[in-house]
Structure 1
Amino acid sequence: MRDELRAKIIAVCDQKIAAKGDNVGVSFYAFFANKNDDPQRLMEVATWWIQTHQLDHFVKARIIKEMVEQGL
């Protein structure tokens, strides 16, 4: 995953955690605007989320943040 995308995921997770607490869940759609203006980036995250790690639709933001920070 590109460094730019990792930074975006971490920032969004931090925002969600700050707003709703440590148990807030996110889906991979949380990292995109409602309008699909970057399908390549969407597919990159979807592949990481669904194919590589076989995650559920919603996962705790703190877990996603930890995974991205660890380079998984």
Structure 2
Amino acid sequence: MRDSLRQKIIQVCKKKIDQKGENVGVSFYAFFANKNDDPELLMEAATWWIQTHQLDHFEKARKIVEMVEKG
């Protein structure tokens, strides 16, 4: 996964945690605007989320941060 996507995931998850608490859930769609202006990046996130890690649609934001930070 490219570094810019890693940073975006961490930033969005930490913001959600700050706003809604430690148990907030996110989906990979949370990292993108409603307009699909970068389908390649969206597919990269979807592949990481769905194929590589077989995550549920919603996962705890703190779990995603930990996974991304560990690589």
Structure 1: gaps (5+ residues): none
Aligned-residue Cα RMSD (Å) equals 0.3
Deviation, 1:50, is 0.2
Aligned length: 71
TM-score, normalised via structure 2 length? 0.99
Structure 2: gaps (5+ residues): none
Deviation, 1:26, is 0.1
Question: Aligned equivalents of 1:65 and 1:52: distance in 2?
Answer: 16
Question: Aligned equivalents of 1:34 and 1:58: distance in 2?
Answer: 17
Work out the percentage of aligned pairs sharing the same amino acid. Answer: 79
Residue number in structure 1 paired with 2:17: 17
Partner amino acid for 2:57?
H
TM-score, normalised via structure 1 length? 0.98
